[in-house]
Amino acid sequence: MKKNNINIILTSLLLCLLIVLLLGNKHFNKVPKEPNKYKEITIQNNKNKEDKNKNRDKNQPSSSFTWIDDDGLQLAIDRLLPLAKELDVKLTFAIITSRFGEEKFVSKDAVQEIYNEGFDIIDHGYAHDNDYRPTEMNEEELRKDLTKTKEIWEEMGIPSNHHVIPFGANTPTTEKVYYDYFDSAIMTSITKNDPEEGIGEPNYLPLRNYRIERISYNRSSLEYIKRQIDNAAKNNGWVIIYSHMAVDDYDEVMLV
DSSP string across 117-148: TT-EEEE--S--BTTB-GGGS-HHHHHHHHHH
CB 21 within 8 A of CB 47: yes
Tens-place pLDDT, residues 114-139? 999 999 999 999 999 989 999 999 99
Residue 247 included in any domain: yes
Lowest mean per-residue pLDDT among 1-5, 10-14, 66-70, 201-205: 1-5
Q: Distance (Å, rounded) from C-alpha 149 to C-alpha 39?
A: 27
Report d(CA 228, CA 237) in Å as an integer: 9
**For the chain, how long is the longest CA-to-CA vector?**
53
User: Is residue 51 in a domain?
Assistant: no
Question: In this structure, are residues 214 and 189 in contact, taking their beta carbons and an 8 Å threshold?
Answer: yes
Residue type, position 223, single letter:
E
pLDDT tens digits along 50-102: 343 344 344 445 678 899 999 999 988 988 899 889 888 889 999 999 999 89
Read off the pLDDT of residues 158-208 as tens digits, 9 standing for 90 and up: 999 999 999 888 889 999 999 999 999 999 765 454 444 457 889 999 989
Residue 120 lies in a domain: yes
Looking at the structure of the chain, the number of domains it has is 1
The pLDDT, as a whole number, for residue 87 is 86
49 belongs to a structural domain: no
Is residue 57 included in any domain, yes or no? no
DSSP 219: T
Q: Is 26 exposed, middle or buried (0-12, 13-18, 19+ CB in 10 A)?
A: buried
CATH of the domain at 132: 3.20.20.370
In terms of average pLDDT, the best of 34-43, 63-72, 142-151 is: 142-151
Asked if residue 173 belongs to a domain, the reply is yes
CA atoms of 215 and 67, how far apart (whole Å): 9
Distance between terminal CA atoms of the chain? 18
pLDDT over threshold 60, residue 44: no
Q: Is residue 117 part of a domain?
A: yes
Helix (H, G, I), strand (E, B) or coil at 171: coil
DSSP state for residue 246 in the 8-state scheme: T
- CB 212 within 8 Å of CB 165: no
Q: Is 169 in contact with 136 (CB distance < 8 Å)?
A: no
Query: Is residue 187 domain-resident?
Result: yes
CA dist 127 and 149 (Å) reads 9
Q: Comparing 175 with 35, which gets the higher pLDDT?
A: 175
- Domain extent at residue 174: 2-31+63-251
CA distance 72 to 97: 9
Closest by alpha carbon to 249, among 4, 1, 6? 6
Q: How many other CB atoms sit within 10 Å of the CB of residue 40?
A: 12
Cβ-based burial of 205 (10 A; exposed 0-12, middle 13-18, buried ≥19): middle
Number of other residues whose CB lies within 10 A of the CB of residue 6 = 15
